[in-house]
Structure 1
Amino acid sequence: MARAADGSLDRAENAKLIQHIEQGGISTLLYGGNAIFYHLTLAEYRAALEMISELAADSSLVIPAIGPAYGTMLDQAEILNDFAFPTAMVLPQRDIVTSAGFCTGVRNLTQRLGKPVVLYLKFGGVVTVEDAAALVNDGHISAIKYAVVREDYMRDDYLKALTEKIDPSLILSGLGDQPAITHMRHFGLGGFTTGCGCVFPQLSTDLLKAIQAENWDEAEAIRERFLPLENLRDNLGPITILHRATELAGIAQTGPISPLLSEPAAAIREQIAAALTQIQQSV
C-alpha cells in the first residue's frame, strides 16, 4: 500500500503498483499484512476499499483483510457491505482467543457480510482442525490461507490433518514462493500467495505454471531466484523489506511505513537493492 509523504493513501502510486502486478499475470490482489491493512483507521479503511476497487482491473479478484479484533471486524463489516468484494480475509489473533470463540465470531461476521470469508491460519493450533472443518462444511469459508512457519515444511502434522478433513484445493500455501512447491506437490494445496510477486509478478506466475505442469526442476530453479529477497524478508521483517523493495525496484513510491512498523536502516536498504539486482540478473 503506497502512501504519500504526509502518510495519506497515494492513489497514483497505488495505481502503478496494481498495474505492475496485473501486467505480470497475477489477477488476485490480497490486501492483508504486506499492505499493512490491519493498522488502517476506519476512515482509511473505507478510502482504501474505494481506491483499490476503482484501480484494479475488472478481471482481477480483490480481497481485503478484516479485523483482527472482533469489534474491528464488526465495524469494518458495515463498511464492506457498501462494496462488492466477494470475500474478505480474517486473521485470527493468538493470545486472546479460543478456537471455539473465534469460530463463533467468524459465524457472526459472515452472517453480517452475507458471504464466506478467507480464513488465515498463521499459528498452529489457534483454530483446531475440527473447528476449521466445521466452518468450511457450514459454508462460512471461501478459502484457507495457510501460513504456519515450519523448520521442515515436509513435516507438518497440522496441515496434514487439515487436508484430511478439508478439500486441499480450498487451502492455499500462504508463506510466499518458498514453501509453495512443497505445499502444492506433497500436500495437494490449491495454490499459493506471494509477497515478492509484488516486485517480480511474472516470475511468481512462472513458478505457479511450473508447479501446475509438474515441472519440478524448473519450479525449483525459479524458487531459488527469489532467495536473495526472501532471505532478507525472513531475517529482517517480511512487510517492511517488501515495502521498501517495491520502491527501490522503481515500481512505485511506496512512501513512509505505517507505525507500528519502522523503516529499515540505510545498511539494510543497501542489502535490499543488492538482492533486487541479483534477482534481476538471474531472470
Structure 2
Amino acid sequence: MARSAAGALDREENTKIIRHIEQGGISTLLYGGNAIFYHLTLAEYRTALELISQCAAADTLVIPAIGPAYGTMLDQAEILQDFDFPTAMILPQRDVVSSAGIASAVRKIAERLGKPIVLYLKYDRTVSVADAAALVNDGLISAIKYAVVREDYTQDDYLRELTDKVDTSLILSGLGDQPAIVHMQDFGLGGFTTGCGCVFPQLSVALLQAIQAKKWDEAESIREQFLPLERLRDSLGPISILHRATELAGIAKTGPIIPLLSEPDDAIKTRISAALQQMSQAK
C-alpha cells in the first residue's frame, strides 16, 4: 500500500497500483503481508478498507487481512462488518499460539463475520492437518494460503498430508511465483498468490495460464524471468523490496515504509532498479 511522504495512506497512488494490477489481467487483490496490513492502526484499518473497496474495479475480488493478534482480529472484525468483503485472511503468527487455539480463533472470527476465512499456513505444522481439515469440513475456510518455505519444494510432508485431507482446489501456493509450478504440478494446488505480480502482472497471468495448460517448459521459462527480483526479495526482505520496486518501476509513489520494517539503502535500490530492467528486457 502506498503512503504519502507524511505517512498517510495515499488514495491516488494506491489507485494507480490497483489499476496497474487489474490492467495486467489480475482480478483478485489480497491485502496481507506485502501491503503491510500487520501494522495498521485501527483508524488506518477502516481507511484502508474504504480505499481498497472503493478504488478496485467492480469485478475485482478484494480480500483484506486481519490479525495477527486475537485482540486485533476482534477489533478489526467489528470494522469489517461495515463492509461487504466476501472473506478475510487471518495473518499468521507462530508465537504464543497453539494449533487448537488458532482453530478456535478461526471459528470465532468466522462466526462473528458470518463468512468463511482464508487460513494462512506459513509455518510448518503451526496448524495441524487435523485442525485444518476440520475447519474446512465445517465450512469455515474459503481458501488455504500455503506458504511454508522449503529447500526442496517437491519434498513437503506437511503439504502432502494436507492435500490428502483437503480438496486441493481450496489450497493456494502462497509463496509467490517461484514454487507455483511444483505446488500445482506435483501437489495439485488450485492456484498461487503472486508478489512480483504487483510489478509484472501480465507475467504472473502468463505463468498461471501456462501451468493450467500443462505447458511446463513454457511455465518454467516464465518463472525464470522473475528470478532477478525474487532473489533480492529472498535475500533482503520480500516486503520492503517489493514496496520499493513498485515505485522504482514507475507504477506509483509508494512512499515510506512504516516501522517495524525499514527502507532499503541506496545500494540495494540500485540493485532493485537493475533487476527491474533485466526483467523488462526479458519479457
What is the TM-score when the length of structure 1 is the normalising length? 1.00
Q: Does 1:267 align with 2:267?
A: yes
Is this contact kept in 1: 2:38–2:91, CA < 8 A?
Answer: no
Aligned-partner Cα distance in 1 for 2:270–2:92: 34
> 1:95 Cα deviation (Å)?
1.5
Corresponding residue of 1:46: 46
> Residue 244 of structure 1: CA displacement?
0.2
Letter in 1 for 2:103: C
Structure 1 letter corresponding to 2:164: E
The Cα offsets for residues 38-92 of structure 1, whole Å up to 9 and x where unpaired, read as: 1000000000000010000010000000001000000000000000000000123
Q: Which residue of the partner structure matches residue 249 of structure 2?
A: 249
Which letter maps to 2:264?
Answer: P
Q: Is the 8 A contact 1:92 1:102 kept in 2?
A: no
Question: Is 1:121 equivalent to 2:118 in the alignment?
Answer: no
Q: Which secondary structure does the structure 2 equivalent of 1:267 belong to?
A: helix
Asked if 1:219 is matched to 2:203, the reply is: no
Q: Which structure 2 segments of 5+ residues have no match?
A: none
Structure 1, unaligned runs of 5 or more = none
Q: Which amino acid aligns with 1:211?
A: I
SS in 1 for 2:271: helix
Task: State the SS of the aligned residue for 2:29.
Answer: strand
Matched, 1:150 2:135: no
CA RMSD, Structure 1 to Structure 2 (Å)? 0.4
Structure 2 distance, partners of 1:178, 1:268, is: 21
Distance 1:99 1:220 in 2: 35
In structure 2, the residue matched to 1:17 is: 17
Question: How far apart in 2 are the matches of 1:245 and 1:147?
Answer: 22
Map 1:129-278 → 2, pairs under 5 A? 129-278=129-278
**Displacement after TM superposition at 1:218 (Å):** 0.5
Q: Report the TM-score when normalising by structure 2.
A: 1.00
Matches of 1:62 and 1:83, distance apart in 2: 11
Contact 2:240/2:257 (8 A) holds in 1: yes
* Equivalent-residue separation in structure 2 for 1:94 and 1:15 (angstroms): 33
How many residue pairs get aligned? The number is 283
Corresponding residue SS for 1:96: coil
Asked if structure 2 preserves the Cα contact closer than 8 Å seen for 1:146 and 1:171, the reply is yes
Amino acid at match of 2:251: I
Alignment check: 8 A CA contact 2:92 2:121 kept: yes
Task: Give the counterpart letter for 1:164 in structure 2.
Answer: D
